Each structure stands twice: as structure tokens, then as C-alpha cells.
Amino acid sequence: MRRANDIHKDIIRGSLAQFRGCETPTAGDAFQLAFFIIKEAVELCIQVQMHLLSAQWLKKLHNHIPSTP
């Protein structure tokens, strides 16, 4: 499951600068992001969702219905 979390984190962090967002300190595996413009926050969310759909997930996750398109 660690690899899945890494994929998730890489996708979010890889898109953050494009939308002028920044990550604030949190505990554990949580994400808290800040933006100056709401539109950019929404655009980041849409892009992240699209990247999550096309990510190369581990085969063992394919049996979990929520993780497959």
C-alpha cells in the first residue's frame, strides 16, 4: 500500500506548482493545500482526479472496486 500512497502523493505534489498552490505542514499522510484563487484550487482537483484515473496502479489493487475506473 505504500507504493499506492507514493503514487497519490506524487500526483498531487506534481500538479501543485502549476496552480500556484502550496502545501502546509500536516501530520501523518494528510494533505492540506492553500491557494490564493479558488478557481486554481478547483482546477488542481480536476487535474489530480484525471491523473489518478490514468495512473499505473499496482495490479493487486485492481480487485478493489473503488480503485478501478
Residue-wise pLDDT tens digits, 24-42: 988 887 889 999 999 999 9
What is residue 38's DSSP assignment?
Answer: H
Report domain extents, the chain: 2-67
pLDDT at 3 (0 to 100): 85
Mean pLDDT of the chain: 87
Q: How many CA atoms lie within 13 A of 17 on its CB side?
A: 2
